[in-house]
Structures are given as C-alpha cells and as structure tokens.
Structure 1
C-alpha cells in the first residue's frame, strides 16, 4: 500500500504468493508484460534470495544491476555477473541500509547525493477521515498528541520493548505533560495493544487506533503529532519522511543501519550489548535469543523518558 503513496513511483506490479500456482502464473504474466515494455534498466534490491535475479534476467533489460554477497563464493558471483547481472554491487552489511540501496544507482551513474526520504502522498480525503475518527474519540484539533508504536512486525518480534515498560512510560508522560497519547498498529496488533490498554487501566487520555488507520491516515497523523515514540519498525521511517520528531528503540538491529540518518530531530535509545546486532542476511534475520531479548530489556523506562522529555522540549 505504501508504494502507491510514493510520488516517484508510476506503476506497481505484484505477484500473488497465496499459492504456488498463483505465484507462477502472476510471475509469468509480469515477465511477459515487462518484456513487452522493453525496459532499458532493471535494478534488483533483493540481497539474499537469487530468484529475483533470474526474473530480472528474464525480463530482458539491457542493464541489470544487483548485489553479490561474499559468502556466496567466487563461482556463484561469476555466474551472476557474467550471465545474469551486467553490473554487480557488493552487499555491505555494515553500512546504513539507505547507502546500500543507493550504491546500486551509483553503479550506473545516478546522482545519489540527495539522501532525503521519499515523499509520501496524502489527500484531503485522508485528512477528513483522520479528523473524523479523532473527533469521534474526543480528540480536538488543539490537543497535543504523542503517538506510540509498541509493536514490531512478525519478522522479528524481539524488536519489541516490553509492553509493561511502554505502559509505565505513558503514565510518566501523562503525569508531566498535558498531552494525549495515541497508539497505532495494524489489525494483527490490536490484541497486543489492547493488553497495553489493560495495563494503563484504559486511561481516557490514551487512545487505541490499532487496526483503524490506513497508510494515508497514519501519515497524516504522524504529520500532526508532536512526538513519535516507537520500536524499530516501518512507521519510524514514515515519521522521518514527514519531518516528525522521534524517539526510537533499537536492539536486534542497530541504529547505524536502520535508524534515522539525520539526528537533528531524532533520538535513538540503544543498549549496545555484545550480541547486538544479531539479525543479518545470513541467518534469515532470526534473533538468536528466541524471545529472550536482553537488548530490549536492558533499556530502562528512565532513559527512554529522559530522551522523550529532551526531544519534546526542543
């Protein structure tokens, strides 16, 4: 959904992976369509699985750019470079993700000096829908909002800071500031967020919007919020793109790779213990601790609250 909101993207094609046959059929359709388009340049952003490289080759672009990984070996790299890719780029797991992606464009001569995030389009309809929802909950236009994302995707739930600490943080914020707190999340997060609401005894100054916002409404909400507090997750990057101040919490991944590039409006809390980062492309991004995420438990309510107050007062 978010790709439809990025103004630089003109057309989107998807592959239906709900079943093997649907995946094959829609993939062949996409390949046929792109071959007929006679694309000049194809850039493969996938850095681990090589099926996308094969598809890229079959689409027939004259210039084909993609990654190679040292651990794949010299012979495999020669195969990709000599037959499937015309330009290969070393996938560097130690650089910021934005640099890693920009390296593909740089390889074929693109100007990559501008590191500003893509613009996410919103509409008047998005604003009306959000304002209507907030108004129905008793949130007024003049209210100061702090938005919290206590969730992380199923890709790695170990990125979540303990829910009881988020609850204690919310109570401290409400006791020190005249704000209203809004919680976000998708439909799959609704039960988890409701558990948070139970801990804070359904404080009337805290609002659960999990499962009630589409990307457009979420973007508008983040535009108007005073501060966004979040685990390492997708909404962090939306907040950065719209210029909202953030406090983000990192553990299994490191902020040097996935945090905000510019820190003028953004604070990061990170325990920096020995086993972090544990997620990488060589272990399928699986946390080694299997739920015992010491890297997030090491982060205290007090240090996050200090970061929130400092960022809120700027």
Structure 2
C-alpha cells in the first residue's frame, strides 16, 4: 500500500474568507478521506483554523506582517520550506487571485511548495504555474463560498451540501457561558451589535446601531451586547452611550477570536456591517442583519437560509465599487436606522416562531 496523499490547501485571506472556505475544506476531506490535509492560512485566522476537525494540520502564514514589513518574509519562507519537506501531491489555492502582485506571490509560493498537481485561479498570469486551472471569470457573479467549493471540486472534492461552520476552544465556552446564561435569563433574546469593520467605507454610524439596539430592547425585551476587536473600543463605547432604552454590555477588546466565535454562537441575532464577525455569526447559528455599502452582497452575503438574514443595501450608481476610501460613502451613511431596526425585530420574531413551533 502506498503512502496516503498529502494535500496543501491555501486560504491566505481574511478571517471571514476562512469561514466561507469551510464547505470547500470539508469537500476535500470527503474526496480524500485518507489524505493528510495541511491548511495554510492567515496567521490572524489561526484560532479558528486550528479547531477545524477535517484538517490534519494548520500552518499560519504571516501575510499581513509581510505586507507591513518585508523583513518578515523569512518567516513565510520557512513555512513554505516546511511544507515542501512534506512532499505534497496536491497544492490548491481556494481563493481568487485579485492582482498581478498577488499572482506573483502565489507563483512563488507554489514553486516553493513543489506539488505535482497545482490547482488555482488562472488570473493575472498565475495560470502558468497551474496544472488544473479555474478560468479567469471563475469568481465573477457568484458567491465566494460557492466559488471556493467549485475550486475544491477541481481538486477532487466532494460537497456535503452543508454551509459554513465554525468551532471554538472549550475554554472559551467555560469562560463565557455564565455571562451569556445571565443575558438570556427568562428567555430574553440576546442581540449582538458589531459596529467595526476593516475598511472605513464599510462602517456604519454608531447612532444607527444604537437605534437598532433600542428597538430590539424596547419591542422584544432583548439583551444587547456590543462586540469589537482591538482598537474598536471607541466605536463600541459610542453605541453604548447613544442607546437610550437598551443597556448594552460592551465586550469590545475583551475577546479572543475563539471567544468571539462562542459568543456569537450564543446570540440570537447579530446586527453588523459586512465583516468577518458577520460570517462567524452566520456559521455559528445566529440570524444576521447586515449593512452593505461598497461591496456586492451577491458575492459575500451571509450563507444562511433566507429566514435568517436580511441585507440592508441602498441603490447607488457607483456601488459596488469595492473601494477602501471615499470622500462621502453615501451607500452607508444614508442607510436609514429604521430599516435596520425593522429587519432586526422581524428576524427575532421569525426565530421565536420557529422555536415555539419546534417545542409543540
């Protein structure tokens, strides 16, 4: 009997992108049940990636550190060298190649890893490094999650028909279970608010989050908790100070990524911008109200049934523009607070009705 296959799978993108890649990773496991599957992902996503049960080993890659300071390339090169030492049979990059610079970096990574079968997106010249090529238009006009699943199929993956999933450390549950038990005491719905975002153009005013928090607290008796990563504490504090009916608890800056996944799994609903926490919440079982501005929800909206999400997006001739900077991002600034609040209450009602029906 020959040695089991070794696959190197690359998802060197955002935390939300890793969550969206989980159906593709499961498909690769189903298609290669005996293989050693090595996942190379953004270092920031490691706390979630390391808990994926269908991956053999996770290799964090310091892509943001390298972009910030090229001196960090040595750490990245060392990771690639260790992957090459595994003598992998297959290397697949699940994510799209978005620029010539990205294609150049990906070519170098594939060459360093040295797999005989190389699967990826034939874009910006990356196709010359591939033995199995997804065409240039592969990621156009369909959801990123679906595109990555199709990429996995090119590498022998077999879909299981389920959506994204997420896992957290047992310690996160032990640490925060009591806090969320108290919030949900008496059957009160727990509503999360996530005012942060990785780009200024994707953020929404604190007043609109506060208005939505007030609506769910006043009309449905919800307990409200505000989330945020390191550096987003001021945005969370602004939501708390502007709320007039809700009394939000702020967890901004207090949670590890694993803690956040558990916490979002304990919420009934997350009100959020287009962000990593949006995808984590959806995968963890929460309903989601999400405000979209410069990006296209057809490509990155939450992957959940229709009765668990509402996308709030205004029509603008310039949108989607995918820009990181804008003098006046009216696509976000002009979203009515009432639309967000109305959608939040509606999803809470749908969730409550489903729970009551299941209990009968």
Question: What is the TM-score when the length of structure 2 is the normalising length?
Answer: 0.74
The equivalent residue for 1:85 is: 130
- DSSP 3-state at the match of 1:174: helix
- State yes or no: 1:33 paired with 2:82: yes
The equivalent residue for 1:197 is: 240
CA–CA separation in structure 2 for the residues paired with 1:296 and 1:140: 31
CA–CA separation in structure 2 for the residues paired with 1:60 and 1:130: 44
The equivalent residue for 1:304 is: 340
1:133: how far off? Answer: 4.8
- DSSP 3-state at the match of 1:7: coil
- DSSP 3-state at the match of 1:229: strand
The equivalent residue for 2:18 is: none
The equivalent residue for 1:234 is: 276
- State yes or no: 1:114 paired with 2:157: no
CA–CA separation in structure 1 for the residues paired with 2:209 and 2:72: 41
The equivalent residue for 2:191 is: 146
Matches within 5 A, 1:117-136: 117-123=164-170, 125-133=171-179
- State yes or no: 1:250 paired with 2:289: no
1:149: how far off? Answer: 0.6
CA–CA separation in structure 1 for the residues paired with 2:158 and 2:301: 23
Task: Classify 1:180/1:95 alpha carbon distance in 2 versus 1 (closer, same or farther; 3 Å).
Answer: same
Task: Classify 1:14/1:46 alpha carbon distance in 2 versus 1 (closer, same or farther; 3 Å).
Answer: farther
Task: Classify 1:118/1:39 alpha carbon distance in 2 versus 1 (closer, same or farther; 3 Å).
Answer: farther
CA–CA separation in structure 2 for the residues paired with 1:305 and 1:122: 33
The equivalent residue for 2:24 is: none
Contact 1:7 1:121 in 2 (8 A): no
- DSSP 3-state at the match of 1:188: coil
The equivalent residue for 2:150 is: 103
The equivalent residue for 1:183 is: 226
Task: Classify 1:258/1:166 alpha carbon distance in 2 versus 1 (closer, same or farther; 3 Å).
Answer: same
| Partner of residue 215 from structure 2, selected from 159, 165, 172 | 172
The equivalent residue for 1:65 is: 119
Residues matched between the structures, number: 291
Gaps of 5+ in 1: 280-284
Task: Classify 1:133/1:174 alpha carbon distance in 2 versus 1 (closer, same or farther; 3 Å).
Answer: closer
CA–CA separation in structure 2 for the residues paired with 1:298 and 1:127: 38
- DSSP 3-state at the match of 2:311: strand
CA–CA separation in structure 2 for the residues paired with 1:200 and 1:27: 45
- DSSP 3-state at the match of 2:193: strand
Task: Classify 1:141/1:39 alpha carbon distance in 2 versus 1 (closer, same or farther; 3 Å).
Answer: farther
Task: Classify 1:216/1:108 alpha carbon distance in 2 versus 1 (closer, same or farther; 3 Å).
Answer: closer
Tell me whether 98-107 or 12-21 shows the greater mean CA deviation.
Answer: 12-21
Superposed CA deviations along residues 130-152 of structure 1, whole A, max 9, x for unmatched, are 135558xx746444311111111
CA–CA separation in structure 2 for the residues paired with 1:192 and 1:236: 17
The equivalent residue for 2:52 is: 6
Contact 2:214 2:246 in 1 (8 A): no
- State yes or no: 1:215 paired with 2:253: no
Contact 1:47 1:67 in 2 (8 A): yes
1:120: how far off? Answer: 1.8
The root-mean-square deviation of aligned C-alpha atoms, in Å, is 2.2
CA–CA separation in structure 2 for the residues paired with 1:126 and 1:141: 20
The equivalent residue for 2:324 is: 286
Gaps of 5+ in 2: 1-46, 351-360
Task: Classify 1:187/1:81 alpha carbon distance in 2 versus 1 (closer, same or farther; 3 Å).
Answer: closer
Question: What is the TM-score when the length of structure 1 is the normalising length?
Answer: 0.84
Superposed CA deviations along residues 78-126 of structure 1, whole A, max 9, x for unmatched, are xx434x1111212433211112212222223322362511342441x21
CA–CA separation in structure 1 for the residues paired with 2:291 and 2:148: 23
CA–CA separation in structure 2 for the residues paired with 1:181 and 1:302: 17
Contact 2:231 2:253 in 1 (8 A): yes
Contact 2:84 2:114 in 1 (8 A): yes
- State yes or no: 1:22 paired with 2:93: no
